[in-house]
Amino acid sequence: MIDTNHQYRIDYKILADCYGEYQQGQGWTLYLVDNITCPFKAEYTGISKLSIAPNTIITVLELINSEYDSEEDFECFMAMIEAEVDDVIYEIPLADLKIIQASEKTKQAVADWQYYINS
């Protein structure tokens, strides 16, 4: 069962002692990497310029993040995943997924990210 206390986890576990976008991005990266287990099944809910139609079932292969060498290079953290659809690999925002089958930790981490990005 997913714990819906998203704001508590965000404030006290994910972004505690994070100042500025760079540190917040690092906090999210650590949290998502530690809690998302791939592969898992999801439904694509976004509207994409790619050839993926909404409501398409995808296999999430891995979490991919923009990696920056320094704080000056960091503009904005956006959690992305690599997904397979009909033997084609796409990069899709994590926020554009509805999980179909995944571990509870994965479901919780995705729900936390979606809550954060939509609030």
Superfamily classification of domain 6-118: Calcium binding protein CcbP, beta-barrel domain (2.30.30.530)
Q: How far apart are CA 80 and CA 73, in angstroms?
A: 18
Q: pTM here?
A: 0.86
Q: How far apart are CA 39 and CA 37, in angstroms?
A: 6
- Phi/psi of residue 91, nearest 5 degrees: -105, 125
pLDDT score at 69: 46
pLDDT score at 71: 52
Q: How far apart are CA 40 and CA 60, in angstroms?
A: 5
The per-residue pLDDT for range 47-102, each reduced to its tens digit, is 777 788 889 999 999 998 755 445 554 455 788 999 999 999 999 999 999 999 99
Q: How far apart are CA 71 and CA 21, in angstroms?
A: 9
**What percent of the chain has a predicted confidence (pLDDT) above 90?**
63
For the chain, which residues make up each domain, given as ranges? 6-118
Amino acid at 1: M
Query: Is 12 a residue whose pLDDT tops 80?
Result: yes
The per-residue pLDDT for range 14-44, each reduced to its tens digit, is 999 988 888 888 899 999 999 999 999 999 9
pLDDT score at 61: 97
Q: How far apart are CA 21 and CA 42, in angstroms?
A: 28
